[in-house]
Structure 1
């Protein structure tokens, strides 16, 4: 069957499998027919509120049924869903809303204090998911009840935008990644094919649904009419219980989550015979953790490397083996170009470099974004020459395996979360007693990397704890440094830029000693 929009997948499933379970939210099971019915109600209520084709609505919520219904309404009727990371600080949320300019903001009641700062910002309607709504909001169920069953739904085009997935750039300015129905249909096929999803599969998802990882897995699963189990957040013991009880076949985890599951007492004695795939992404998994995982869960691991802007590589299940030294080495890679993906390593002049040389990872694929919302300069920079310029630095071996070696924009990956050093530097530099600051990633056995801040302080110098607390007040807590060291100055290149290679060389051991001694790690 040919699909013109993502909404056609939803309609196909409701027609072909009306009573089959589409979603499981705790004790609540929702059929494909039931999901379509609710999605149509939500879409009609949104239309009744004055939202037209390609207008934006925003969602700030954990993994709730309501979030999936708002997504599905957009699939059917053509409004755009702008995602808001609920872990962000109020100024960050305000910036995203000022860029997306949504007509409606759906928010989970737990995040009301941050959302209240948006009253008067131009958002026309606030809809509270769960709990008693504030005086300036309406409850989700009351809102859905305003739907007029006779109201026709708008019909989106395949090149209309479905999502604005927000991500922070190296300057700290959020960018809305425009993903169309066309790109998301390609995502449906990509994930379903690479992971070999089948209608009988049961997927367990707990990554935040504002992340493309969760959303893409859900789209791929429903492309195959599979059953999706959604958990609101990550609880290692509950995840293991669900895998056993529901006979889960596929799940998606960041490497740190895999480590947390392996640390649950008694994990070796559990029954994971139903599992066929543990998909991990965000960063390569430390090989010792991967070996442990393979002993406990079996030959089920599959790695996908990509980003909000598009998909890139796969390290398949059959490639997760340790028979030779080469096998072990390749476990540190992110695999080879996935089906339908063209990949090259290029220099600053966009010329392909030889095998083994380091350069920027560049991609061509049907899953690549349309561009950045209202940011033509960033779009041209990212997509010029017909290639998506990832900003990631890597090298290819003679068999096409990709090894990531650095990020051109100094991005830090901690626990599967992307953290941009410039954004953290800006937050720390706003403290009145900070003269200068540079932020780098430091290897960590659990998180993959932690944020290390090197600070040049004014007199009197703030403590490391003060710097961390100030940073937490400016940006999301997970972005704060976990270690702070002080220096008299920062090394610079001839261009005047901070020499971060020299910083990593000079302060790596210092940071390790400080963290191990308890001198300056961030509070939990």
Structure 2
């Protein structure tokens, strides 16, 4: 196993790219890690790099996920290549990529794989944090290339670009911007379209070698099904072949050529997959089960709301109370109006018992909302 420690520099990304190219050609498996993450060493140790790697593994994506338990997703060269090839076919052909998300996560690593298969050198947004001016400078390095230009972002990054004149101008130069890692709200879709920015919302995870459903439609070779509880299942050559040193978890999640996700979904009238949220986001309040994701969609559609996270917190009467942390636009939002909007659309049980406001939502990983942090914050005051 070859460890690749990323420190935010273009040099460390180049080293990882060379290691991935070697792994795709049959070389040692690569374990990308974040050198600036204090917990990375423990994550690395959990991957047991001194022990033999499971056969057929090209890359191990190590993550602690939402539970905090270390997990290493085993991806073959075939899965990575299949995903990258299908992505190019959906977007408009091989092109030039800008890496703007961390490459130790699958979304960033697949940018490198796509560039390798396209025979192009990716532009790299190096350094710490995400600043629209830096993105614009990195995008400018692709201004003279021939062929399509692509990048992959998370919703939070897209919002920052849309808020910045320089960032917006740069975003408009891309033939497609893949948006993944977290749900893209209808409001953000409309805002990007109105601004002349072509985004392609993607659904996927490390276990599917990155996004495998683009704008509700599976990539070529990918199949989607729903279990009886609306749990999403995915099949196809993009699938990982298990988890590092966790045969029980592998057997639980993978079987018969399918991967059973932790997400619920439904098919719209035109056959597109709509992801409804995680199966464990249900809140049991007063004996009624309500979906946090459904409430978030209603809140996110209200005027003046930029983002929202809904969780359940302990309550002496209701068991769990529905509470919301909302990020407003530049103006102020009225919590009472937001609760009324949810009640009107989804019913009284779904209306938050409390709404708090914040400048931004806490995040973990590549743009995913840290629901544990939100729950901890909103549990500090038990609702009477």
TM-score, structure 2 as length reference: 0.69
Q: Which has the larger radius of gyration?
A: 1
- Displacement of 1:255 in angstroms is 1.4
Give the distance between the partners of 1:73 and 1:265, measured in 2 at CA.
Answer: 37
Q: Which residue of 1 aligns with 2:343?
A: none
Q: Which residue of 1 aligns with 2:113?
A: 219
Q: Which residue of 2 aligns with 1:288?
A: 187
- Displacement of 1:273 in angstroms is 6.2
CA deviations 1:154-207 (Å, max 9, x no partner) are: xx99x6311110233554311100011222221231222222233xx3321110
Q: Which residue of 1 aligns with 2:29?
A: 80
- Displacement of 1:99 in angstroms is 1.6
SS at match of 2:352: helix
- Displacement of 1:240 in angstroms is 2.5
Give the distance between the partners of 1:65 and 1:451, measured in 2 at CA.
Answer: 40
Q: Runs of 5+ in structure 1 lacking a partner? A: 1-54, 104-121, 123-155, 316-334, 349-358, 412-420, 422-439, 456-486, 492-498
Give the distance between the partners of 1:375 and 1:254, measured in 2 at CA.
Answer: 29
CA deviations 1:405-435 (Å, max 9, x no partner) are: 1212449xxxxxxxxx9xxxxxxxxxxxxxx
- Displacement of 1:511 in angstroms is 4.1
Contact preservation (8 Å) 1:364, 1:386? yes
Q: CA RMSD of the aligned region, Å?
A: 3.5
- Displacement of 1:95 in angstroms is 3.6
Q: Which residue of 2 aligns with 1:262?
A: 162
User: Are residues 174 and 345 of structure 1, via their aligned partners in 2, closer, same or farther at CA, if it must alter by over 3 Å?
Assistant: same
Contact preservation (8 Å) 1:344, 1:361? yes
- Displacement of 1:513 in angstroms is 3.8
What are the within-5 Å matches in structure 2 for residues 167-178 of structure 1?
Answer: 167-169=63-65, 171-178=67-74
Give the distance between the partners of 1:385 and 1:271, measured in 2 at CA.
Answer: 44
1:188 to 59, 74, 84: 84
CA deviations 1:71-107 (Å, max 9, x no partner) are: 523542632222334565x4x434412321235xxxx
Contact preservation (8 Å) 1:396, 1:403? yes
Q: Which residue of 1 aligns with 2:62?
A: 166
CA deviations 1:427-469 (Å, max 9, x no partner) are: xxxxxxxxxxxxx7784757744475736xxxxxxxxxxxxxx
User: Are residues 196 and 273 of structure 1, via their aligned partners in 2, closer, same or farther at CA, if it must alter by over 3 Å?
Assistant: same
TM-score, structure 1 as length reference: 0.52
Q: Which residue of 1 aligns with 2:176?
A: 277
Instruction: Pick which of 162-171 and 359-368 moved more.
Output: 162-171
User: Are residues 261 and 274 of structure 1, via their aligned partners in 2, closer, same or farther at CA, if it must alter by over 3 Å?
Assistant: closer
Contact preservation (8 Å) 2:160, 2:167? no
Give the distance between the partners of 2:170 and 2:59, measured in 1 at CA.
Answer: 38
CA deviations 1:332-391 (Å, max 9, x no partner) are: xxx11221101111125xxxxxxxxxx011011101001001101110111123311011
Contact preservation (8 Å) 1:71, 1:81? no
CA deviations 1:466-513 (Å, max 9, x no partner) are: xxxxxxxxxxxxxxxxxxxxx44772xxxxxxx68x678779634424
Q: Runs of 5+ in structure 2 lacking a partner? A: 284-291, 325-347, 360-376, 380-384
User: Are residues 197 and 66 of structure 1, via their aligned partners in 2, closer, same or farther at CA, if it must alter by over 3 Å?
Assistant: same
What are the within-5 Å matches in structure 2 for residues 294-443 of structure 1?
Answer: 294-298=193-197, 300-310=198-208, 311-315=211-215, 335-347=216-228, 359-410=230-281, 443=296
SS at match of 1:59: strand
- Displacement of 1:284 in angstroms is 3.3
User: Are residues 272 and 410 of structure 1, via their aligned partners in 2, closer, same or farther at CA, if it must alter by over 3 Å?
Assistant: closer
User: Are residues 364 and 59 of structure 1, via their aligned partners in 2, closer, same or farther at CA, if it must alter by over 3 Å?
Assistant: same
SS at match of 1:313: strand
Give the distance between the partners of 1:368 and 1:398, measured in 2 at CA.
Answer: 27
What are the within-5 Å matches in structure 2 for residues 470-481 of structure 1?
Answer: none
Give the distance between the partners of 1:390 and 1:179, measured in 2 at CA.
Answer: 16
- Displacement of 1:209 in angstroms is 0.6
Give the distance between the partners of 2:164 and 2:323, measured in 1 at CA.
Answer: 37
